[in-house]
Amino acid sequence: MKNPISRRSLLRHAGMGAAAVLAATIAPRRGRAADLPRLDVHDPAAAALGYVEDAATVDTKKYSSFSPGASCANCMQLQGKAGEAYRPCAVFPGKLVAAAGWCMSWTPEM
């Protein structure tokens, strides 16, 4: 019985297939953040955590844990590139939050 595919050809095709799978897995992650919707302050999860798009508007009587200068921009939960106005947040997966915003899950960067 003759083997129609050489070992070299099999490895080359397997490597190309693995590279295609890897590229298909990684590529959507790069462009996905720009396609995410912005978190609405009226979203139930956002409302439960007191999310606001501008930390200067936080009701300090209602949220006594707020400290001046705290914002999503200096929270360790914020992801994405520094300097962008809206970025992904680990607390609100699948949504973009305002870098100038704040919520009760704010954790200072280390």
Report the CATH number at residue 71: 4.10.490.10
pTM assigned to the model: 0.69
Q: Are residues 91 and 42 in the same domain?
A: yes
| 3-class secondary-structure state, position 87 | strand
Check residue 104 and give its pLDDT.
Answer: 97
Check residue 110 and give its pLDDT.
Answer: 82
Q: Are residues 15 and 61 in the same domain?
A: no
Q: Are residues 43 and 7 in the same domain?
A: no
Q: Which residue intervals of the chain are DSSP H helices?
A: 7-35, 44-48
Closest listed residue to residue 106, CA positions, set 82, 87, 90: 90
Q: Are residues 30 and 55 in the same domain?
A: no
Check residue 19 and give its pLDDT.
Answer: 47
Q: Quick one: pLDDT band at residue 32, thresholds 50, 70, 90?
A: low
Domain with 66 in it: 36-110
CA distance 51 to 26: 30
- Specify the residue for token string 């954790």: 107
Q: Please give the tally of structural domains in the chain.
A: 2
Do 80 and 17 meet the contact criterion of CB atoms below 8 Å apart? no
Q: Are residues 25 and 76 in the same domain?
A: no
